[in-house]
Structure 1
Amino acid sequence: MSDITKIAELIRGIKFAMVTFVNHEGHLHSAPMTTQDEEFNGTVWFIGAKDSDLVRSVPGNAQVNLGYSDPAGHNYVSINGTAELVTDQAKLDELWNDGYNAFFEQGKEDPNIQLIKVTSNGAQYWEGSGRVVSIIKMAKAAITGDTAKLGETKGVKL
């Protein structure tokens, strides 16, 4: 299985990513962003607001990190990449769903809409063994004094 395929498998179905960026003051800041229903191929798209801290920060520092969390499956993914502000009506049409109407008063025609394209550089993932297996492994480790191996972690270059 390729690294991109593995990352795609782990983040599939996770609705929100925490996007960490460097704000205009040089501080790390994070914002939850809705993950699109596209298969991960090394690029991640978000629909943001032009007046948001995230969008305003990209021209000054395009480095971002995307954090995905699946606590039920004990899986976690961190993707680092470069953000780019994109104007592309066809892409907006492709990504848009009515849920965004709650954030943009004028719907898809709202002038505050900004597409954000993140091109991945690399990722780190932690893949758990699942809840039941993890509990059994922790109990065994507590009894035997051994260290519990609760999953796999791997860094990948994308």
Structure 2
Amino acid sequence: MSDTATGEKSVSREEGVRHIAEIIKDIKFALLTTVSGKGHLHSRPMTTQETEFDGDVWFIGSKDSGSVADIKAQPQVNVSYADIGKNTYLSVTGKAVLIDDRAKLETLWSDGYKAYFEGGIDDPDIQLIKIESQGAEYWEGGRTRNLLQMAVATVTGKTSDDHGTNETVKL
């Protein structure tokens, strides 16, 4: 389905989830944007968990962190991903939920977190953050193609209608 006013297309949930999973799988870090109790936006880098995207995004955070305090005040968040090499960008909106689940923590945990949590996996400061995705939008376009389009436009004075792919997914 295409939005002719914006050129954006909407895809099915199943197709969108599969494609979003493909985008996220190789991106190590995301930006989690929260809203403080005073309405201020804060973005913080978070480590992408090595789990298959099924509509939910998981992070491991600290109970004493600003992001957890913000989530308690306002659970609406945004998670942004960028793969500059592939010229791919993803924005996921959703509701953050603070979860205490040892079994889930064990599936998400890696020894790299020992640098942040002195007590390792048993550290009482560990907080699981689950983002229940409500929607997503992604943009894809090859850098080489875009550079070529810029060169053609410079020489010919004509712009291209091909701006890559822009899809929205209702989750």
* Both proteins in one fold, TM over 0.5: yes
SS at match of 1:139: helix
Task: Determine whether 1:135 maps to 2:147.
Answer: yes
RMSD: 1.2
Which structure 2 residues correspond to residues 35-74 of structure 1 after superposition, within 5 A?
35-74=48-87
1:29-49 Cα offsets, whole Å, 9 max, x none, are 111000001111100100000
1:145 deviates by 1.9
Q: Percent identity?
A: 52
List 4+ stretches of structure 1 deviating above 6 A.
Answer: none
Task: Determine whether 1:121 maps to 2:134.
Answer: yes
Instruction: Please point out which of 13, 22, 36 is paired with 1:9.
Output: 22
Unaligned runs of 5+ in 1: none
**Letter of the structure 2 residue corresponding to residue 76 of structure 1:** Y
State how many pairs are aligned: 157
Q: Distance in 1 between matches of 2:167 and 2:157?
A: 25
Unaligned runs of 5+ in 2: 1-13
1:107 deviates by 0.7
Q: Distance in 1 between matches of 2:143 and 2:35?
A: 35
8 Å Cα contact 1:137/1:150 also seen in 2 = no
If the length of structure 2 is used for normalisation, what is the TM-score? Answer: 0.88
Instruction: Please point out which of 87, 91, 115 is paired with 2:104.
Output: 91
Instruction: Please point out which of 20, 23, 39 is paired with 2:33.
Output: 20
